[in-house]
Amino acid sequence: MDSLPRIALVGAMGIGKTTALRALCGEKMVSSDVVNLDRASNAKEFTTVGTEFGEIDLGEGERVQVCGCPGQERFSFVRKWILSVSMGVFVMVDVNAHDALQETSRLLKDVAALEQPPLVLILSARAAPASALDAFAAAITHAGHGVVPVLQADPRDRNQMLDAIGVLASMLSLQSEE
Ligand SMILES: Nc1nc2c(ncn2[C@@H]2O[C@H](COP(=O)(O)OP(=O)(O)O)[C@@H](O)[C@H]2O)c(=O)[nH]1
Ligand SMILES: [Mg+2]
């Protein structure tokens, strides 16, 4: 099946996944009732679980699908499935939140458990000083997740989100050269 490269957005409820999708995709966005990520397989359960996706045109015929995953733990099976069919994932987090490290660790573990894990970037979705981003990145590494880049990106700001996608694309092209 021909499918677009897909980026998954994960993160706690209210962090800005829907906001980021709107900023990136505008009208070209579909919410859960009609989600059909993969026509070949099962679309039915995705009608009720809060998944949403949109498409971005990066120019020169390059398109990416962005897919917001439900944050609730009871929907973790949906998240894992979307992660398994994504080439990249943005873990959106407020690094100032008291449970930020725990939440992010939980999501990173889900990603790492996949047979072919997508590339991960952490997006700091609320304003934070550079020192806080560095400290968070160090804590993630210390917690055993390896080196995961942490970028500042306001979900409401289309250009900041596009920059994050650009970083992901560069990382993917480096990876494919290995
Ligand atoms: N202050 C602030 N509010 C935001 C930001 N991003 C989203 N919001 C607000 O947070 C609320 C929840 O965002 P939403 O995109 O629905 O989160 P989701 O649950 O991850 O999809 C909305 O009212 C947004 O307007 C942000 O970067 N800063
Ligand atoms: Mg949402």
For the chain, what percent of residues have pLDDT higher than 90? 63
Residue nearest to atom 25 of ligand 1 (CA): 19
Closest listed ligand to the CA of 50: 2
- What is the whole-number distance in angstroms between the Cα of residue 125 and the centre of ligand 1? 9
Task: Give residue ranges with CB within 6 A of ligand 1.
Answer: 11, 13-19, 125-126, 154-156
Residue nearest to atom 15 of ligand 1 (CA): 16
Per-residue model confidence (pLDDT) at position 37:
55
Which atom belonging to ligand 1 lies closest to the Cα atom of 92? 20
Closest listed ligand to the CA of 15: 1
For the chain, what percent of residues have pLDDT higher than 70? 85
Closest listed ligand to the CA of 128: 1
- C-alpha dihedral sign at 168, 174, 177, 178: negative
Q: How confident is the model over 1-42, as pLDDT tens digits?
A: 457 899 999 998 889 998 999 999 987 776 654 454 554 544
Per-residue model confidence (pLDDT) at position 151:
98
Burial call 26-53: b when 16+ CB within 10 Å, e when fewer: eeebeebeebebeeeeeeeebeebbbbb
**Structural domains of the chain, with CATH:** 6-177 (3.40.50.300)
Tell me how far apart the alpha carbons of residues 171 and 15 are, in angstroms, rounded to a whole number.
24
Residue nearest to atom 1 of ligand 1 (CA): 126
- One-letter identity of residue 158: R
Per-residue model confidence (pLDDT) at position 32:
54
Q: For 58-72, what is the mean pLDDT?
A: 85
- What is the whole-number distance in angstroms between the Cα of residue 19 and the centre of ligand 1? 6
- For β-strands 52-59 and 62-68, DSSP reports them as antiparallel
Does the predicted TM-score (pTM) go above 0.85? yes
Per-residue model confidence (pLDDT) at position 83:
94
Tell me how far apart the alpha carbons of residues 69 and 132 are, in angstroms, rounded to a whole number.
26
Q: Is the pLDDT of residue 153 over 70?
A: yes
Is the Cβ–Cβ distance between 78 and 108 less than 8 Å? Answer: no
Lowest mean pLDDT among 23-37, 122-136, 151-165: 23-37
